[in-house]
Structure 1
Amino acid sequence: MLDPLQAVRIALGSIGSAKLRSSLTTLGIVIGVAAVIANVSLGASFNQFFNDEIGAVGSNFIVIYSQNINVFFDNELELIENTPGVVGVSPIYQQMAKVTYLSTSRQIDIQGVNEDYSEVANFQMKGGTFLTDKDRFVAVLGEEVADEKFDKKISVKNPIEITFRREDGGVITQKFIVKGIIKDPGTTFAQTGVEPEIRIFIPIDVMNEILGVDSFGGFFVKAESLDVVTATGDEIDKRLARNLGVSGRDLDNDDAKPYVIFDQIEILEETNQLSAALTTLLTSVALISLIVGSIGIMNIMLVTVAERTKEIGLMKSIGFSKNDILTLFIIESMVVGLIGGVVGTAMGIAAALVVNDFLDLPNIFPISQIVIGFVVSISVGLIAGVYPANKAATMNPVDALRKE
């Protein structure tokens, strides 16, 4: 019986005697494994990036927007506040308005909100504090508005003027004192429409009073935890639909409702599906390289068998059994695959680090996937080496020794 360690030494000797050929043989495995590792890592990194982006938008949030005017009033606000699982809710009213600071005017999106908005949206303050329900003519600015929109930076306690246009066509200009500046969350995920860095927030009671309205454009809701977001959102949807006269059979028909509702879980699922599809596509392409690499190993092992025919005959003549020859060539093939797996994994991790740094993504390397990369590379070597090894093992020793 051939000693496994002896078989490995013989395999390494055979590989080392033909370095160029062995290097070219492992190249396909190296490229394939590197591509698989890099793509799996990129998929996991994108997934974590999306999760971080959504988490920066808000915590356990549910967003509700009306599709028509005069849909939501105090009655709907109270209904949502009393829904089980809700720990915070802010009504929203939004209008683009002219904002003047010193001698410069800009069109800025103004949002009327209450004090719960900050908690739901996970705001971090760069300076000052956020609104309270007792505030009147004060404003909280996004960092981009305060630092970049005007000729001079706006600071806390600076006065600004906001010119609103009422539904009746009238125009009202009101002075506000800057109470706080919201730190830019650095997220590029705008699906929720929060984007605090480009907005100005004022008390919603003041905004409605100026505009002469008593309705809301929507609600930003916080659930108790991420685990109950979906259930809480569904309950809010049922209550709003019933309250607004939407029939039970149309509850799942978004076109039948005068509002849109979605939550953090739905967005997470959409982005996870996107990143999973992207990872699957890229990994499938990378697996082609592994197939090519396995063909390369099989070819080179067949060449090796042909070149070592006399050696095989000699080994059989001195007592090596069919199983010994089979084991020897299979181990040699697996060693080639293992070397390719080690080098490919290192190259894949290095490539992922470079790309993640370039795209400003978190570095995520699933250990299970790296282990799978090793297993796949060894398996490829094993499968590709079976036929050549069997061919070598079944040679007639007399015919092999006669081979020139």
Structure 2
Amino acid sequence: MLSLKQSIKIAIGSIGSAKMRSALTTLGIVIGIAAVIANVSLGASFSQYFTEEIGSVGNNFIIIEGKTSNLLHDNELELVKTTPGITGVSPMSQQVAEVKYLSTTRQISVQGVSADYGEVANIPMESGSFLNDKDKYVAVLGSDVAYEKFGRPVSEKNTIEMTFVKANGETVTQNFKVKGIIASPETSLIQSGIESDVRIFIPVSTMNEIMGEDYYWGFFASAESMESISEVTDEVDRRLARNLGVPYRDIGNADAKPYSLFNQEEILEQVDQLSAAIGSLLTAVALISLIVGSIGIMNIMLVTVTERTNEIGIMKSLGYKNHEVLSLFIVESMMVGLIGGIFGTVLGVVGAYIVVGVMGMPHVFPLGMIFIGVAVSIVVGLLAGAYPANKAAKMNPVDALRHE
């Protein structure tokens, strides 16, 4: 009776007797498993990376933007602010201004916001403090503006000069005292067009006064929690639509509304869908390598069966049953798959770790993929070796002994 232990011992001996051939046979499995492992790990890393990036934009944020100017005013701001579930909201306006520091002038985007913006948009301060409701001609600078734009660093309490161009072509120049410097962001996602590191923030009331305007281009709000953000967003949508004269039947039609509205949850869902689609595509490509690898195992096992025809005949003449011969070759095929799976898993983990390290993303590796990768490689070996093993098991012992 041929035991499993004996079958494994014989399989290892057979694999070891043809090291180069065995190595080339397992190469397809190694590449396939490595590609699958790396792609799954990269997909998880991408997903976490973008989740962290989006989280850095704000706490459970909701963004409302007018599609036309002169649409959103204090009345709409009050509607959003008093919506149940809203914990903070900042109106926003923006202009490109000529900013002068000492003798250097640069074109820089200037954002008008309220004091709430610092909290709802997760603005980390390196020095000084963010705007408050009493501020007027003060500015908070992004790290890139403070340290890169003017060739020399701008410090807290320094004065910068900003020149704005009004709609009628009139220019307005005003000095602003630097109140604080925003810390360099750890993330690089475009924050709905509001990259804090390359912008200057001033009080929105001051910007509207300079520009002679009484409206905002949008609102940046935050909900109590991610669990309630969808419900809160819908309520904000209903209130704004009713106030701006949007028919009830068109509330669900984004094209029919004069404003756009989206929240953090919706962006995360889109990111998850994108990550899943990319991951599925990459995994499908990687599975092709597994198919090629399985064909390689089947081919080499057929060659092995042919080479060992005499050995099979001797085994059968000694009383070995068909199922024992079958199990012998099945075990050998599974061993080839297992070896390829182990090396492929290690290669996939190392490869993913290097790639995410170079790209500056968090390394996320689902530990369950180690077991899945090894299990898949064994199954591939099993399926690829089934036909050659069955062919060996059904050999007539007399014909096998006569084979040259």
TM category, shorter? over 0.9
**1:205 aligned residue:** 205
Shift of 1:27: 0.9
1:61 and 1:221 in contact (8 A); partners too? yes
2:313 and 2:396 in contact (8 A); partners too? yes
Question: 1: distance between equivalents of 2:325 and 2:12?
Answer: 15
Instruction: After superposition, give the CA deviation of every residue in 1:158-215 in whole Å (9 maximum; x if it has no partner).
Output: 0112222233443222221111011121433215112011111111122222222221
Matches within 5 A, 1:2-401: 2-190=2-190, 192-401=192-401
Question: 2: distance between equivalents of 1:385 and 1:331?
Answer: 9
Gaps of 5+ in 1: none
SS at match of 1:382: helix
Change (3 A) 1:191 1:199: closer
- Runs of 4+ in structure 1 displaced over 4 angstroms? none
Shift of 1:18: 1.2
Question: 1: distance between equivalents of 2:191 and 2:67?
Answer: 16
Instruction: After superposition, give the CA deviation of every residue in 1:202-230 in whole Å (9 maximum; x if it has no partner).
Output: 11122222222221111001111122222
One-letter amino acid of the counterpart of residue 244, structure 1:
L
Shift of 1:149: 1.0
Question: 2: distance between equivalents of 1:248 and 1:352?
Answer: 50
Shift of 1:80: 0.5
SS at match of 2:227: helix
SS at match of 1:281: helix
Instruction: After superposition, give the CA deviation of every residue in 1:343-395 in whole Å (9 maximum; x if it has no partner).
Output: 11111112112222222222111122232211111000000111111111111
Question: 2: distance between equivalents of 1:295 and 1:85?
Answer: 59
Q: Identity across aligned pairs (percent)?
A: 61
Shift of 1:3: 1.3
Question: 2: distance between equivalents of 1:6 and 1:282?
Answer: 40
Gaps of 5+ in 2: none
Question: 2: distance between equivalents of 1:338 and 1:171?
Answer: 74
Question: 1: distance between equivalents of 2:263 and 2:86?
Answer: 13
One-letter amino acid of the counterpart of residue 273, structure 1:
Q
Question: 2: distance between equivalents of 1:200 and 1:17?
Answer: 71
Instruction: After superposition, give the CA deviation of every residue in 1:256-277 in whole Å (9 maximum; x if it has no partner).
Output: 2111111111211222222221
Shift of 1:311: 0.9
SS at match of 1:226: coil
2:85 and 2:228 in contact (8 A); partners too? yes
Question: Which stretch of the first structure deviates more once superposed, 171-180 or 361-370?
Answer: 361-370
Shift of 1:319: 2.1
| Matched pairs, number | 404
Question: 1: distance between equivalents of 2:167 and 2:359?
Answer: 45
Question: 2: distance between equivalents of 1:40 and 1:375?
Answer: 16
1:157 and 1:178 in contact (8 A); partners too? yes
Question: Which stretch of the first structure deviates more once superposed, 92-101 or 327-336?
Answer: 92-101
SS at match of 1:387: helix
Shift of 1:252: 2.0
Question: 1: distance between equivalents of 2:246 and 2:84?
Answer: 21
Instruction: After superposition, give the CA deviation of every residue in 1:30-57 in whole Å (9 maximum; x if it has no partner).
Output: 1111111111111111111211211222
One-letter amino acid of the counterpart of residue 136, structure 2:
R
Question: 2: distance between equivalents of 1:229 and 1:184?
Answer: 28
1:57 and 1:187 in contact (8 A); partners too? no
Question: 2: distance between equivalents of 1:84 and 1:233?
Answer: 10
One-letter amino acid of the counterpart of residue 181, structure 1:
I
